[in-house]
């Protein structure tokens, strides 16, 4: 299947558009093979911890205990699950050394290293826009509280 990007920037294929699909690009995009691939990839990387772990492993090889210390707030169980999922999908390599006690190290695979640039760009974007996001978040919370207090006054 040949994938092309149409002029509007949306992925399109010549052989997987559903028959009779509406011309709306979102409706078409949502039903293509590309959309399923993108959705699955976003599901893999879109959890709370995966991108952060990829960003950390971009700096080198780490032992489990080091990762657990660096990733503040993650439980051992969640770190284990996240690393297993990244390993399962070929993004992280787990190396066990036959020592007593066994030493286990984690590193990005060549496939995982291809994520460094986009993850770094997303990290830079987050840092550049964090104040603006926090401002909008605080405004939204204040509006919800004001609306709720107005509702309470209406019912008094």
What is the per-residue pLDDT for 9?
45
SS3 content of the chain, % helix, strand, coil (to 5): 55, 15, 30
> Can you give the pTM of this predicted structure?
0.69
Strand residue runs (E) in the chain: 3-5, 11-13, 62-63, 92-97, 103-108
Task: Read off the pLDDT of residues 92-104 as tens digits, 9 standing for 90 and up.
Answer: 999 999 999 889 9
User: What CATH architecture applies to the domain 47-112?
Assistant: Orthogonal Bundle (1.10)
Parallel, antiparallel or unpaired: strands 3-5 and 92-97: unpaired
Domain ranges within the chain, ordered by starting residue: 3-44, 47-112, 115-156
Q: Across residues 103-121, what is the average pLDDT?
A: 95
What is the per-residue pLDDT for 13?
44
Task: Read off the pLDDT of residues 16-61 as tens digits, 9 standing for 90 and up.
Answer: 444 455 555 555 556 677 778 888 888 888 889 999 999 999 999 9
> What 8-state DSSP symbol labels residue 33?
H
Residue 82's nearest CA partner among 119, 117, 46 is 46
For the chain, give the percent of residues with pLDDT over 90.
58
């Amino acid at each position: 299947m040949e994938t092309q990007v149409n002029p509007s920037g949306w992925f399109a294929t010549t052989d997987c558009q559903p028959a009779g699909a509406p011309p709306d690009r979102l409706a078409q995009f949502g039903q293509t093979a590309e959309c399923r691939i993108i959705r699955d990839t976003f599901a893999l990387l879109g959890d709370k911890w995966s991108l952060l772990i990829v960003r950390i492993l971009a700096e080198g090889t780490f032992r489990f205990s080091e990762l657990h210390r660096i990733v503040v707030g993650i439980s051992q169980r969640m770190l284990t699950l996240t690393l297993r999922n990244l390993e399962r999908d070929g993004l992280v390599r787990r190396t066990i050394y036959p020592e007593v006690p066994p030493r286990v190290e984690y590193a990005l695979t060549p496939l995982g290293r291809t994520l460094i640039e986009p993850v770094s760009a997303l990290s830079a974007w987050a840092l550049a826009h964090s104040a603006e996001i926090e401002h909008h978040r605080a405004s939204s919370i204040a509006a919800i509280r004001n609306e709720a207090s107005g509702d309470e006054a209406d019912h008094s």
